[in-house]
Amino acid sequence: LSRNPGETEFHQAVREVLDSIGPAVDKHPEYADARIVERICEPERQIIFRVPWEDDHGGIHINRGFRVEFNSALGPYKGGLRFHPSVLLGTVKFLGFEQVFKNALTGLPIGGGKGGSDFDPRGRSDREVMRFCQSFMLELYRHIGEYTDVPAGDMGVGGRELGYLFGQYKRITNRYESAVLTGKGLIYGGAQVRREATGYGSAFFVEEMLQVRGDSLAGKDVVVSGSGNVAIYTVEKVHQLGGRVVACSDSDGFVHDPSGIDLDLLKDVKEVRRERIRAYADKAPGATFVEGGSIWEVPCRVALPSATQNELDAAGAAALVRNGCVAVGEGANMPTTPGAVRVLLEAGVAFGPGKAANAGGVAASALEMQQNASRDSWTFEYSEARLREIMRDIHARCHATAEEYGVPGNYVAGANIAGYARVAEAMLALGLI
């Protein structure tokens, strides 16, 4: 803690992993001998840089850019870029740390990293966003590459931003290096199902958890927080699997639509018009907008926190349990506080941690890299089938590991131990580097 002062989210993420990997460390004394725990908590490289840019009125702004290249034992650093005013070094480190284990769990050859900036794209014109992205890439390009570090999107970085980032990378380097970024548009090297993958994957993961209990999403009311990339495609897949999403949100509040969220309207409001979520309630008969309220008070059988870190606290978890919730899957990274996780586990709720439940996005990114490398592009159906298979495997790996280590049904322990063991084995094999 004293080496990383003030990085509270990073401390929280590290503590959560260290709390559950004890049995794996006991079983493998060679990990302790090689000081894997100490090495795994220390990023291989951290880059912080100035990002100056000019707004539409000639005003000058200075933001801070980050890229934390956390661990490359399993492959090139891989992980998204987040543009949000709350981004600090500790935020990027927590996300990068989580990414190392998540990527290991996918079984694919990718290391972990994360980056971003405290730039806020909300309310900015397309031209301002473009100028920011170009300035950001003017430094980032030195550190990334198909075999080195492959960023993608995250909060505030979607198709528009990735397009500007890729365009600037191509211009600076004079290389059409498709696999340097993932989440690209389909017209310039993107892959089918990447946009949908995190949301689809988290619905698939929850369906797997429910099936173990002889249950399914069909016929269940579901709450999905957020209304961004992950939330929208979670809603889409939950509906396809027979569930009904009755609420979603943004940082202003939540909408409750008891007859089920109208997906076309949601996409129109958020993806086409880029409006706030309250605009959905203005246009959907029967829907209400609750400003500043807790979405977790809305009765549901399944909850999928898909907005941001620490959005589901112990009081929210208690409300879910009280209303009969049976499963929670983390679409976002670390959205559930440690206190809330305790409430859910003690109540016997099936709980899918983000490292496992939202790994579909990065898995599809690895498939995008594979298609770019072979100059191929797969169909939507084939890509979705691959994603479903990967999510099934991740679920099975977490479930089996939890059983093996004597904590059956505890996916937090299962995910942390399975991810840790894979990275630790690779680090041992590579020697002291």
Q: What is the CA radius of gyration of the chain?
A: 21
Continuous segment of H or E residues that includes residue 390: helix 380-404
φ, ψ at 186 (rounded to 5°): -60, -30
Site for ligand NDP in 339-398 (CB under 6 A): 358, 361
**Residue 26 Cα to chain centre, angstroms:** 30
DSSP string, 107-143: TSS--EEEEEES---TT--HHHHHHHHHHHHHHHTTT
Task: Please report how close the Cβ of residue 360 comes to ligand NDP at its closest, in angstroms.
Answer: 8
**Is the torsion defined by CA of 160, 163, 167, 169 positive or negative?**
positive
Return the closest-CA partner of residue 263 out of 219, 227, 302.
Answer: 227
Exactly one of 27, 93, 114, 267 is catalytic; which is it? Answer: 114
Q: Which stretch binds ligand NDP (CB under 6 A): 6-14, 38-46, 124-132, 302-310?
A: 302-310
Task: Please report how close the Cβ of residue 144 comes to ligand NDP at its closest, in angstroms.
Answer: 18
Binding flag, residue 329, ligand NDP (CB under 6 A): no
Binding flag, residue 156, ligand NDP (CB under 6 A): yes
214 is in an annotated binding site: no
- Angle, vertex CA 168, rays to CA 164 and CA 169, nearest 5: 115
Site for ligand NDP in 220-249 (CB under 6 A): 225-231, 249
- Find the DSSP H helices in 183-284: 194-212, 229-240, 263-267, 278-283
Q: Which stretch binds ligand NDP (CB under 6 A): 29-37, 63-71, 134-142, 328-336?
A: 328-336
Binding flag, residue 20, ligand NDP (CB under 6 A): no
Which of 208, 250 has the CB closer to ligand NDP?
A: 250
Which of 31, 200 has the CB closer to ligand NDP?
A: 200
229 is in an annotated binding site: yes
Binding flag, residue 198, ligand NDP (CB under 6 A): yes
**Interatomic CA distance for residues 414 and 366, integer angstroms:** 23
CA distances 79 to 184, 316, 357, Å, are: 14, 29, 16
Closest-CB residue for ligand NDP?
228
Contact of 13 with 334, CB cutoff 8 Å? yes
**Interatomic CA distance for residues 241 and 28, integer angstroms:** 41
Binding flag, residue 155, ligand NDP (CB under 6 A): yes
Q: Which stretch binds ligand NDP (CB under 6 A): 23-31, 41-49, 305-313, 315-323?
A: 305-313
x/- mask, ligand NDP, residues 252-291, rule CB under 6 A, reads: ----------------------------------------
Contact of 256 with 225, CB cutoff 8 Å? no
Q: Does the annotation count 114 as an active-site position?
A: yes
Binding flag, residue 115, ligand NDP (CB under 6 A): no
Binding flag, residue 74, ligand NDP (CB under 6 A): no
What residues form the annotated binding site for substrate? 78, 99, 102, 153, 365
List, by residue number, the catalytic residues.
Answer: 114
Residues of this chain that interact with ligand NDP (CB under 6 A) are 153-156, 158, 198, 225-231, 249-251, 306-308, 311, 331-333, 358, 361
